[in-house]
Amino acid sequence: MERLQKVLARAGVASRRCCEEMITSGMVKVNGKVVTNLGVKVDPARDKVQVGGEMVFLTSRLVYILIYKPRGYITTLSDEKGRKKVTDLLKNVTERIYPVGRLDYDSEGLLLLTNDGDLTYALTHPKHQVSKTYLVRVKGVPTQKMLHKLANNMVLGDGPVAPALVKMLDEQKNALLEITVYEGRNRLVRRMCTSIGHPVLRLKRIKIANLSLKGLRPGRYRYLTGDEVKRLKQLAGLQP
C-alpha cells in the first residue's frame, strides 16, 4: 500500500504537490468514493482511482524512455486532426507514459517520455535550468551582432529569455546554428530566431541535459539506464 498522491504522481498525472492539491480539492475518487485526506493509501494493483471523472491507470513500475521523434509526429497524446502521435512508435510498452515537454510537429530529435510525475515537473520547472541543445537551420546568415542578441539580450512577448549558448556551425546560404537553452517555453527556439529576422527552416533537438541522440535513428527509442535516471534526478533537484 502506498500514499495516493505518490501513486498518482508516478502514474504521470502531475507532480506530487499538484496531486495533493487535487486530492484536497475533491477531484479524486478511490473505488467510487471522493477522498480528500492526504493520508489515504491505495493498492495500485487493486484499487480504481479517478481524477476529474477519468480513470487513471496505476502502475507500480516507473518507466523512462528516450526516443528520436521524427518530423510529422505530434507529442500530445491525442489529436483532433488524426495526426500520428509519438506514442504510436512505442511497441510493447503497457504503461501510460507522457512526453516531458514538447517538440513541434515539424521538428525532430530527442524526446523523453515517462510516468514519473515528479521528474516531469522538476525537469520542466524554470528554476532548475535543465539544458536542451538544438541544431537549427535558419533562413539567411545572422551577423555576429544578431548572434549576440540571440544569446544574451533576447526579450519575447512573454518576457526575457535566460542567456543561451549559440554557435555558428555553417555559414552557407542558410546558416546552421547550435543553440542551447535553459527554459521550456512553447516554441522558444523558433520564436527567438524569428525575432532576429532569421526564421527556422529545420530544427533538431540533439541533447537534453546529459542525454543525447547517440545510437538512435528516427523513430527508434531506448530505455534509460539507472545511472542516467539518477543523473537526471540530480540535475532536477530530486536527489542530493
The residues that are catalytic are 104
Alpha helix (H) residue ranges in the chain? 4-10, 16-24, 117-124, 144-152, 188-195, 226-235
Angle CA 176–127–222, to nearest 5: 60
Report the DSSP pairing between strands 159-160 and 221-223. unpaired
Beta bridge partners of 85: 74
Alpha-carbon distance 221 to 91, whole Å? Answer: 10
| Residue of 82, 90, 86, 93 lying closest to 111 (CA atoms) | 86
Interatomic CA distance for residues 119 and 198, integer angstroms: 34
